[in-house]
Amino acid sequence: MDEQTSSRRAIFLDRDGTINREVNYLSDPSQIELLPGAAETIAYWNSHNWMVVLVTNQAGVGRGYFPTSAVEAVHQKLQAVLAERGARLDGIYFCPHSTDDACSCRKPNSRLFVTASRELGIDLKRSFLIGDKLTDVMPARELGAKAILVRTGYGEEQSRHLGEIRGIVVKTAIDLREAKRIVEENS
């Protein structure tokens, strides 16, 4: 890995409730509905030398609600919808396990972030983790990244529990548009 790739910075985004509307166990691509400003914010980051990487838990696979092919179809549709608006995800990583599986890839574990960092040449200490659940941002502590909790999806309710996270500063934002401002001020 050369110096240029090892110093890449990234925005790690959760999917449901962060980029697109929360749909309980989203498995149908036709249910993709981007949140206001999501595509424009991602396109902005794309044009300002940020890698944008999706990291999402998909417990519906582990619970047998739908196969991994359904998750992949949703991700293909998400990429297509973003592309129509000039935005892209540079990587997509997901955990297919349920909460009962005790795997090492399900957030708040950091394995998917470390894998993405290694595969895409990302400097985690120059990166941001953004999501609507505390589990989306908790890995920032271990990774040395910065954390932003958006109040879309489950974020409003989750923000009431910020005091339960020790050893990490979590900024809050109304949505990805406000998260963009926080990233600019803190990078």
Catalytic residue, candidates 2, 16, 101, 132: 16
Asked if residue 29 has a cis previous peptide bond (ω within 30° of 0), the answer is no
Nearest CA among 156, 135, 153 for reference residue 23: 153
Print the SS3 string covering the chain.
CCHHHHCECEEEECCECCCECCCCCCCCHHHCCECCCHHHHHHHHHHCCCEEEEEEECHHHHCCCCCHHHHHHHHHHHHHHHHHCCCCCCEEEEECCCHHHCCCCCCCCCHHHHHHHHHHCECHHHCEEEECCHHHHCHHHHHCCEEEEECCCCHHHHHHHHHHCCCCCEEEECCHHHHHHHHHHHC
Cα 105 to Cα 161: distance, rounded to the nearest angstrom: 23
pLDDT, position 4? 46
Catalytic residue, candidates 14, 132, 136, 175: 14
CA 173 to chain centre: 14
Active site residue 14: yes
Sorted by where each starts, the structural domains of the chain and their CATH numbers stand as 3-186 (3.40.50.1000)
pLDDT, position 152? 97
pLDDT, position 110? 97
Length of the chain: 187
Active site residue 28: no
pLDDT, position 167? 80
pLDDT, position 27? 97
pLDDT along the chain (187 residues), means of 10: 65 98 96 98 98 97 97 98 98 95 94 98 98 97 96 95 84 97 94
Entry pTM: 0.95
